[in-house]
Amino acid sequence: MSRYKARQQALQILFSREFHEENDIQYTESEILETNTADEQDAFEENDDLTMQDENVYCTYLVETTRQHMAEFDEIIGHYSKKWDLSQMDRTDKNIMRMSLCELLYPKENIEESIVLNEAVRLAKRYGGPASSRFVNGILGAYVKDKR
């Protein structure tokens, strides 16, 4: 199992929550399990020895922490996307960037910035539009560069 898989699960949950007006940041374990089995073809990819339980814990951390700090992350994204209003951005792109900022600002584990950015670009290529990977990389790259 992998952190990439956990990121995929978290992205799917965060994206689905964009369409539900719920004040409660909690989600059911069945949502995680549903996304866990929906994409089994990725099992051959990155194997960083996470168990299914570890993967679910990492997914939970990403979803809960991203939701808790969403306003902060949106402010950062808005600052670095000078030509784009947040409301005009693709929801997938926004959620990928929010999750990445979560990992950069509120890390559960010590993961290098370059890995976080690479995984964000990877998710954007898979789930976003034709220009998503460049857009996500540009925003997050500018943030990381300024942070140094």
Which pLDDT tens digit goes with each residue over 28-73? Answer: 445 555 555 544 444 434 445 567 777 889 999 999 999 999 999 9
| Residue 16 burial by Cβ neighbours in a 10 Å radius (0-12, 13-18, 19+) | middle
Q: CATH assignment of 3-147, given 3.20.20.100, 3.40.367.20, 1.10.940.10, 3.30.465.10?
A: 1.10.940.10
Q: Where are the domains of the chain?
A: 3-147
Q: Which residues contact 80 (CB under 8 A, 6 or more apart)?
A: 138, 139, 142, 143
Of these ranges, 5-9, 24-28, 122-126, the one predicted with the greatest mean pLDDT is 122-126
CA distance 2 to 36: 11
Q: How confident is the model at residue 18 (pLDDT cuts 50, 70, 90)?
A: confident
Q: Which residues contact 63 (CB under 8 A, 6 or more apart)?
A: 10, 13, 14, 25, 27
pTM equals: 0.82
Residue with tokens 């073809």: 41
Residue burial 92-104, b: 16+ Cβ < 10 Å; e: rest = bbbbbbbbbbbbb
Question: How much is the pLDDT for 42?
Answer: 46
Higher pLDDT: 99 or 47? It is 99
